Amino acid sequence: MTYCVAMRLEAGLLFASDSRTNAGIDHISTFRKMTVFEAPGERLLVLLNSGNLATTQSVISLLRQRLGHDGPNLMNVASMYDAASLLGSTIREVMARDSTGHATLDQGVDYGGSFLIGGQIRSEVTRLFQVYPQGNFIEASEDTPYFQIGEAKYGKPIIDRVLHYRTPLAEAAKCTLISFDSTVRSNLSVGLPIDMLIYRTDSFAPAVPHRIGEDDPYFHQLSRGWGEGLRQVFGGLPDADWFD
Amino acid sequence: MTYCVAMRLEAGLLFASDSRTNAGIDHISTFRKMTVFEAPGERLLVLLNSGNLATTQSVISLLRQRLGHDGPNLMNVASMYDAASLLGSTIREVMARDSTGHATLDQGVDYGGSFLIGGQIRSEVTRLFQVYPQGNFIEASEDTPYFQIGEAKYGKPIIDRVLHYRTPLAEAAKCTLISFDSTVRSNLSVGLPIDMLIYRTDSFAPAVPHRIGEDDPYFHQLSRGWGEGLRQVFGGLPDADWFD
């Protein structure tokens, strides 16, 4: 499984995924579940993926392969909306090719892949979309400033409690790491290291992801401090008076 | 959806489900997702259910209907193991009758129902089982003292952090209510009131479930205290030093 979170806040964008380095090809770099398309000064697009690996790998391979071609691609689309739409149609293309639609052949395999795509293209504000396995998509707003894909539920309560559109990026990063800590503790299929990429609104700066592993002193400090703090709050709350 | 938790601790058993009162027939009482079979002084069995309502209602109706008959039933089985096994075979019986196994007729309907069944029968210790939609089952142990069914993930991290086999019942109840609070906040399909039943080991006392609604002062106090405490712990944790 996978756990990915992306946030679109006033100060910028934050992307995080459980992952391990894979490869890096010129202006495209891939971490295990994070793919970055960038032209510093002009555009930055970050994709996070979860779900069927054959589907998501094919989608990313096709998006990459078409960068050099004349047709629409992630480096020439005029808006983030067009980028999400292109990602959606590429998902449909792969599903149409790979998913047979016959129960016997599919044998209960779930071919679906989910994506988060966010970034900024010059002349636009930052934008963030969640693209469903069906290829349609929704956009984050000030009211709903974050999306999750994969094993999302364990780590959702803490985000719901502290995150809002005006949360500073450093606090959002702290919240995200605690959300990952809760997920990793409750679900063995999500593991460290975490890849985290933070983009400041209108900076068009090169993407510099952070890699956060088990031995990362900050993550360790958060994980321990959060656990101790929770147990302290829990211990300080009263027992029920209906309890004899 | 549903959220149910059951715990088997040294001091006793705890059962909780999101629910609303339904009916009560002599020695069997039903809350929305909790059914109690009891003969005070001799046995107490508590069932929690989630999943397809047609399936789970049929299973419970059959278990009830057979109480008066000569064959094995929940009021005459000799052990909790036999009770779990009877519940499993009743699930299989209903599934064999209702689920057609034909994709066209089933139209993607999930007929599956999950159960937790726990209690104590005189001559035995307390026992707790999770029965799968396939009718097979697993038993709780000192290492794994609790089970959840339904919308389990939002409320799992808090239980994982504070619960162990020797947790006192009052603390387990507090932990359960906080787990429900986290679930209700993150998922609109789980709602109050909560039915909670606590059974002290070897008491064979009559079951007296508590009904905890939105206006319950203790739940309100926990919910507010927990939320404020979390935000305080969060605020007290440092930002990353790699954050400029």
Q: Does B153 sit within 8 Å of A153, measured CB to CB? A: yes
Please give the single-letter amino acid code of residue A133: P
pLDDT tens digit string along B89-108? Answer: 999 999 999 887 776 667 77
Q: Does A221 sit within 8 Å of B233, measured CB to CB? A: no
Percent of chain B surpassing pLDDT 90: 70
- Give whole-number Cα distances, B147 to A7, A169, B155, in Å: 33, 37, 12
Q: What is the pLDDT of residue A23?
A: 38
Contact in structure between B140 and B146 (CB atoms under 8 Å): yes
- How far apart, in whole angstroms, are the C-alpha atoms of residue A10 and residue A168? 8
pLDDT tens digit string along B155-198? Answer: 998 999 899 999 999 999 999 999 999 988 887 777 788 999 99
SS3 content of chain A, % helix, strand, coil (to 5): 35, 25, 40
pLDDT bucket at A145, cuts 50 / 70 / 90: very high
Chain B partners of A160 at a C-beta cutoff of 8 Å? 185-186
User: Which of A161, A174, A241 is facing B230, going by the closest CB pair?
Assistant: A161
- How far apart, in whole angstroms, are the C-alpha atoms of residue B234 and residue B150? 29
Domain ranges of chain A: 3-235
pLDDT bucket at A175, cuts 50 / 70 / 90: very high
- Give whole-number Cα distances, A147 to A142, A156, A234, in Å: 12, 10, 29
Q: Does A234 sit within 8 Å of B178, measured CB to CB? A: yes
Q: What is the pLDDT of residue B21?
A: 42
Q: What is the pLDDT of residue B91?
A: 96
Average pLDDT, chain B: 89
Q: Does B175 sit within 8 Å of A234, measured CB to CB? A: yes
Nearest CA in chain B to A229: B233
pLDDT at B24 over 50: no
Rounded to the nearest 5°, which phi and psi values hold at A120? -145, 135
Q: Does A158 sit within 8 Å of B154, measured CB to CB? A: no
Q: What is the pLDDT of residue B28?
A: 59
Enter the tokens of residue B139.
């038993």
Question: CB neighbours (10 Å) of residue A43?
Answer: 21
- How far apart, in whole angstroms, are the C-alpha atoms of residue B10 and residue A141? 48
Please give the single-letter amino acid code of residue B25: I
Q: Which residue has the higher pLDDT, A18 or B24?
A: A18
Q: Which helix (H) or strand (E) holds B169?
A: helix B169-186
Lowest mean pLDDT among A218-222, A223-227, B182-186, B187-191: B187-191
pLDDT at B13 over 80: yes
Lowest mean pLDDT among A12-26, B27-41, B78-92, B171-185: A12-26
Look up the ipTM and state it. Answer: 0.84
Q: What is the pLDDT of residue B80?
A: 98
Q: Strands (DSSP E) along B55-145, which ranges?
A: 113-121, 127-131, 137-139
pLDDT at A22 over 50: no
- How far apart, in whole angstroms, are the C-alpha atoms of residue A43 and residue B186? 34
User: Considering only the top CATH level, what class is B3-235?
Assistant: alpha beta
* Strand bridging mode B113-121 / B12-18: unpaired
